[in-house]
Amino acid sequence: MSNEKLKTITKILGAVLVFLAIMMLPSLAISIYNKEGQCVNAFLIVALACAIFGMAGYKFIPAKANKLKNRDGFLVVSLTWIIASLIGALPFVISGAVPSFIDAWFESVSGFTTTGATVIRDVEVLPMSILFWRSLTQWIGGLGIILLITAFLPSFGMTGQIIGIAETTGPTKEKQTSRFADTAKSLCKMYSLFTVAEFIALKLCKMSWFDSAIHTLSSISTGGFSNYNDNVGHFDSPLIYTVLFIFMIIAAANINLLFKPKRVLKYEETKFFLFLLFVGGLLVSVFNFIKGADTSFITGFFQVGSVLSTTGFVASDFNLWPSFCQFILLSMYFVGSCQDSSGTGLKPIRALVGLKLIKRSFKLKIHPNRIYRLTLDGSEIGNDVVIRITNYIFAYIGMIILGTFLLSFSDLGFTKTFTACLACLGNVGPGLDFTGYWIFTGYSKAVCMFLMLLGRLEIYTVLALFSRHYWNSNRI
């Protein structure tokens, strides 16, 4: 790691700090407005400290941004997310809302990675400013920290492109515009537009100002935090469920949908995603209806959409559902939301290519020497892309096995352990057979945090940092 690179990285991290300081201002305003003494102090201290250190880092180090290579992006992005989550945890601790540091850090990681898993047993007693900050972290993480910074700081452009790639999810990365900064800006515009639209829609459904804000930030980022202990089940209103459902799906669909809807709707991935959503929702609703577990039709669809989009809102207690419905939900945990969206998970496109590989292998069994091409959206998928996709699928399965193994030390039973691992790696949030992550020990919480970061940064970006090959570029 050369000196030049170190400087550039410090500069970027400085920008991240400044950005976080700016993002804390709304919470600061809320805390002042509500006269939440401790919280005012907390946000003021953290924001000021971030601003000072960040400016120092950003301003005083001369810019030589182009020194970075693609692979340096992994380090920068991983560092960015770890530091952001650490700083995001500080207001929780300093304000005394979440006294234990590991709990606060968990909450912050879960926010930034848009997981929405919580360790706070009673969220309703938390101060409003803290609740708002908790939801805002998801909003930031939903689009990506680096992406947001690139949108706000135009001079960041070139570096942004290099490291932004390490942050976005999905196997094929499509650019909307030729310049990354422009892409970031237009994405940001869309994101904000939909945030405002959902906010207004929820307000029209007779939610309070604060509730609408919190749930807007949670759903448009596919996060899943709520300010009620029983999550969105608190509202128990089909109208609100429908609005949230629509915006969750929009957030989980390919964001290019908004630029060129006709083309994206024809994507096989989008079709597959909608197919899963429809069939899963239908099966769950019908089966719940037959078994009399949950007679409201909308909650079945809502829950499937919530898991498939990796949001993780809980509208009805699915621990009471019949086993079959739970398994439908579990298989949705695997898939996740479309590429180029604010959701994460394995992505339908990868699952689809996996299915196509299976299909091809059957044909090959009959005609071993014939050559079958894999096609997606009418054109052939490159061999390189297929290899990358299969690598990722098995890395994902490997991480599920590893994660479950590490979590099983807590001795909490099969279902809890396995679903917690799935929920964290897929950035969904709630698992089955337990209501919150407070049942886990500090060690297990740390494992969960690691899994969430792995899931959000697409595994290899984080894993690369543990590889010898990464640190020694000449080694093969």
Partner 1 sequence: MKESAKLTFKILGTLALIEGSFMVPCVFAAVYYEEYDCAKPFFTCSLLAICFGLVIKGLTKTGHKNVLTRESYLIVILSWLFCILLGMMPLYCSGQDYTFMTSLFESVSAFTTTGCTAINLDIVPKAILLWRSISNWLGGMGILVLLIAIFPMWGISNQSIANAEMPGAKLEKVEASYSTIGKFLYRAYLTFTAIQFVLLYLGPMDAFTALITSFSVISTSGVTITADSAFMFESGYVKAIITAFAFLSSLNYVTFFMMIRGKFKGAFKNIELKIYCMIILVSTLFVTLVLRITGEYQSIIKAFEDAICQVVAFNSTLGFAFTDYTRWPMVCMFVLCFLMICGGCTFSTSGSLKVIRITVLFKVIKRGLMRHIHPNIINAIVVENRAIPAKIVSGIISFSLLFFGMYIILCLLLSFSGYDIETVMTTTLGMLSNTGLAMGIPGTSGSFSMFSGFSKGVMSFAMIAGRLEMYALLILFSKSFWKPNRR
Footprint of partner 1 on this chain (CB under 8 A)?
70-71, 74, 322-324, 326-328, 330-331, 334, 354-355, 357-368, 372, 387-388, 390-395, 397-398, 401, 404-405, 408-415, 417-419, 432-433, 460-461, 463-464, 467, 469-470, 476
Q: How far is the CB of 211 from partner 1 (least distance, A)?
A: 33
CB neighbour list of residue 268: distance below 8 Å, 6 or more residues apart: 349, 352, 376, 377
Nearest-CA neighbor of 150 among 163, 169, 133, 137?
Answer: 163
Compare residues 124 and 411 and give the one whose CB is closer to partner 1: 411
Q: How far is the CB of 405 from partner 1 (least distance, A)?
A: 6
**Helices 72-94 + 3-23 axis angle, to 10:** 40
Compare residues 64 and 173 and give the one whose CB is closer to partner 1: 173
Compare residues 177 and 331 and give the one whose CB is closer to partner 1: 331
Q: Which two tokens stand for residue 79?
A: 């560092």
CA 205 distance to own-chain centroid: 26
Q: How far is the CB of 329 from partner 1 (least distance, A)?
A: 10
Compare residues 28 and 406 and give the one whose CB is closer to partner 1: 406
Compare residues 65 and 357 and give the one whose CB is closer to partner 1: 357
Compare residues 60 and 324 and give the one whose CB is closer to partner 1: 324
Q: How far is the CB of 363 from partner 1 (least distance, A)?
A: 5
Q: Which two tokens stand for residue 94?
A: 């300093």
Compare residues 250 and 351 and give the one whose CB is closer to partner 1: 351
Compare residues 210 and 471 and give the one whose CB is closer to partner 1: 471
Q: Return the HEC string of the chain.
A: CCHHHHHHHHHHHHHHHHHHHHHCHHHHHHHHHCCCHHHHHHHHHHHHHHHHHHHHHHHHCCCCHHHCCCCHHHHHHHHHHHHHHHHHHHHHHHCCCCCCHHHHHHHHHHHHCCCCCCCCCCHHHCCHHHHHHHHHHHHHHHHCHHHHHHHHCHHHHHHHHHHHHHHCCCCCCCCCCCCHHHHHHHHHHHHHHHHHHHHHHHHHCCCCHHHHHHHHHHHHCCCCCCCCCCHHHHCCCHHHHHHHHHHHHHHHCCHHHHCCHHHHHHCHHHHHHHHHHHHHHHHHHHHHHHHCCCCCHHHHHHHHHHHHCCCCCCCCCHHHCCHHHHHHHHHHHHHCCCCCCCCCCCCHHHHHHHHHHHHHHHHHHHCCCCCCCCEECCEECCHHHHHHHHHHHHHHHHHHHHHHHHHHHHCCCHHHHHHHHHHHHCCCCCCCCCCCHHHCCHHHHHHHHHHHHHHHCCCHHHHHCCCHHHHCCCCC
Q: How far is the CB of 267 from partner 1 (least distance, A)?
A: 22
Q: For the CA atoms of 456, 461, 466, 469, what is the dihedral angle to 10 degrees?
A: 170
Contact yes or no for 183/258 (Cβ under 8 A): no
Q: How far is the CB of 151 from partner 1 (least distance, A)?
A: 26
Q: How far is the CB of 331 from partner 1 (least distance, A)?
A: 5
Beta bridge partners of 376: 379
Q: How far is the CB of 369 from partner 1 (least distance, A)?
A: 10
Q: How far is the CB of 395 from partner 1 (least distance, A)?
A: 5
Q: How far is the CB of 410 from partner 1 (least distance, A)?
A: 8
Q: Which two tokens stand for residue 15?
A: 């920008």
Q: How far is the CB of 240 from partner 1 (least distance, A)?
A: 30
Q: How far is the CB of 425 from partner 1 (least distance, A)?
A: 15
Compare residues 323 and 379 and give the one whose CB is closer to partner 1: 323
Nearest-CA neighbor of 281 among 240, 309, 243, 250?
Answer: 309
